[in-house]
Amino acid sequence: MKGPNFSDYEALYKGYDWQKEKSNLSGLPGGKGLNIAYEAVDRHADGDLKNTTALRFIRKSGEHVDYTYAGLKAETGKFANVLKKLKVKEGDRVFSLLGRVPPLYIASLGSLKYKAVFCPLFSVFGPEPVFQRLSKGDVRILITTTDAYEKKVKGLLGRLPSLQYVLLTDTDRDLDEFALSYPKLMEEASEEFSIPTTDPEDPALLHFTSGTTGMPKGALHVHQAVVIHYSTGKYVLDFKKGDIFWCTADPGWVTGTSYGIISPLVNGVTSIVDEEEFDGMRWYSILEKEKVNIWYTAPTAIRRLMRMTIVPKESFDLSHLRLVLSVGEPLHAGAVIWGEKAFGVPVLDNWWQTETGGIMISNYRSMKVKPGSMGRPLPGVHAAIADIGENHFKVLDQPGKEGHLVLKKGIPSLFREYIHQEERYQKSFHGDWYITGDLARIDSDGYFWFVGRADDIIKTSGHMVGPFEVESTLMKHPAVAEAAVIGKPEPSIGELVKAFVVLKEGYQAEKDLERELIGFARKTMGPAVAPKELSFIDSLPKTKSGKILRRLLKARELGLPEGDLSTLEKN
């Protein structure tokens, strides 16, 4: 088995320089800047990797659809020319609402070539989450299926003035002047496209994340983020020439874009994309048949595999596998230990956020793994623990002290704005430090350990769910006066979404209404983010200023200490 790409973390970290790392990328010919799609596709297509498989799609039926780097250059060039034909401007937003199918990946890279901003949405979102993101993101072009268009988008058109065209991937004819056939446009487009001059700070990717105090936030990233995609592929994912890589994440979440599309391509390896949802035996079969070397998945998936009686390395030939990685929420120590025994290779947890655009803290193949730890910062990333109060900010030097996890500015992939929320963006920083909103501690060896979230964000089955978004949806039902949402621990999925509902006068707290409200939320938001449990409550606990005390609801639900109630409004 090939050795790791670095052996001395301390030496690498001490001498690391972002500009030097950036010099390992090609840059656009003629000194025309730095473009993610060029680094991911064209430079390989014009070189020795042109006939190497870049993307291998595994259909639900099991059949393969392969794209070489040369083929991917041609298809993404076509899509860039489609955008040109539709008179899209540089910086306009192109959204996708698709499953893990070739047009999503082609559109993402073609948009980046054209210098449009690409934003992938998770395909199971219902109409309201789709509207929130398309509206806030000032969508210009949406690429989706006819079914999704009819069921989730068509009814929104009067509320989306910026939307100019919808491209339908599964029809050979235009429905009208607005809803156009993607296959037809691609067939008519030229493969030849010259990427325009791209400043490293030009906007490139838009990802939405939900918090607890508002609707979804749109984090904007720039082309310079590709430096992180490259470096983490080399140092964390340990990519080597000829590798087969599989990231199970959907591009609707940032992991599926950064590491399901960009990082493996930038590093010139072959990336597997499975169109099917989770299936333990199917996944093991893919690892075996595709001879996967590096596998990047989520804690939820690992926990589901743990419940199976099968020992994968005994039932499948996984001799090619050398590394398993996990991200999405902390991977508890038991899962790390199980994974190492089950697969016979290291299982590396890592930490990052939608806002950071790439891995920031990780365990590494060349270092001792401390099960349950986030690991150590990526070379070039200065992470610290800070004591933050209303009028103070102090970086803590002592090992073991818990506090806010903060990152020093200067990271190429760190988001450049929350679109239309400048004040909120500015509040995410204190001087040179980005405040992540997570709580952590550092041990005496420099390893970081996740403590908890500073807000109420819910992580369920690898998805990030903001309570306010769910509450706002429930409030649309005529029976609901107020609603509050918490995350309730559930080992199989991390947390389940639980809603507390105050009914309007004239409605009775009955089982039929409970089922109706859950069904209403599932239809509106999609099953991934809708509540799985719902309880009726006479009134919600609030502060004197009117803020809902979700932590108090959670404490009462779980039988935990209620903490400081000095600000609680007395009913």
pLDDT in tens, the chain (571 residues): 679 999 999 999 999 999 999 999 999 999 999 999 999 999 999 999 999 999 999 999 999 999 999 999 999 999 999 999 999 999 999 999 999 999 999 999 999 999 999 999 988 888 988 999 999 999 999 999 999 999 999 999 999 999 999 999 999 999 999 999 999 999 999 999 999 999 999 999 999 985 433 467 999 999 999 999 999 999 999 999 999 999 999 999 899 999 999 999 999 999 999 999 889 999 999 999 999 999 999 887 887 898 788 999 999 999 999 999 998 777 878 889 999 999 999 999 999 999 999 999 999 999 999 998 999 999 999 999 999 988 899 999 889 988 899 999 999 999 999 999 999 999 999 999 999 998 899 999 999 998 766 776 788 887 767 677 788 889 889 999 889 999 999 988 889 999 999 998 899 999 999 999 999 999 999 888 899 999 999 988 875 434 578 888 998 999 888 865 533 555 5
**What 3-state class would DSSP assign to 93?**
strand
Note whether 347 and 324 are within 8 A (CB): yes
Rounded to an integer, what distance in angstroms lies between the CA atom of residue 209 and that of residue 218? 7
- Give the start-end residues of each E strand in 31-71: 53-58, 64-68
At 205, give phi and psi (nearest 5°): -130, 140
**Distances from the Cα of 441 to the Cα of 245, 401, 431, angstroms:** 32, 6, 21
Encoding tokens for residue 224?
Answer: 């310079």
Domains 9-436 and 458-558 share a fold: no
Helix ranges, 189-310 (H)? 226-235, 254-257, 263-266, 280-289, 299-306
Q: Which of 206, 226, 227 is nearest to 217 (CA)?
A: 206
CATH number of this structure's domain 9-436: 3.40.50.12780
What residue segments make up the domains of the chain, in order of their start?
9-436, 458-558
Concatenating the DSSP letter of every residue in 233-262 gives HHHTS---TT-EEEE---TTSHHHHIIIII
Please provide the size of the chain in residues: 571
- The alpha-helical segments, DSSP class H, found in 526-563 are 550-558
- What does the alpha-carbon distance between residue 553 and residue 568 come to, in Å, rounded to a whole number? 12
Contact 513, 561 (CB under 8 A): no
Write down the pLDDT at residue 464.
Answer: 64
The SS3 assignment for 23 reads coil
The architecture (CATH level 2) of 458-558 comes to 2-Layer Sandwich (3.30)
Strand pairing of 383-388 and 403-408? antiparallel
Supply the pLDDT for residue 545. 36
For residues 71 and 69, give the distance between their C-alpha atoms in angstroms, rounded to a whole number. Answer: 5
* Structure-block tokens of residue 67: 């794209």
Rounded distance, CA 554 to CA 315, Å? 42
CA distance 79 to 189: 7
- Can you state the angle between helices 467-474 and 127-136, rounded to 10 degrees? 120
Q: What is the DSSP letter of 454?
A: S
DSSP state of 159: G
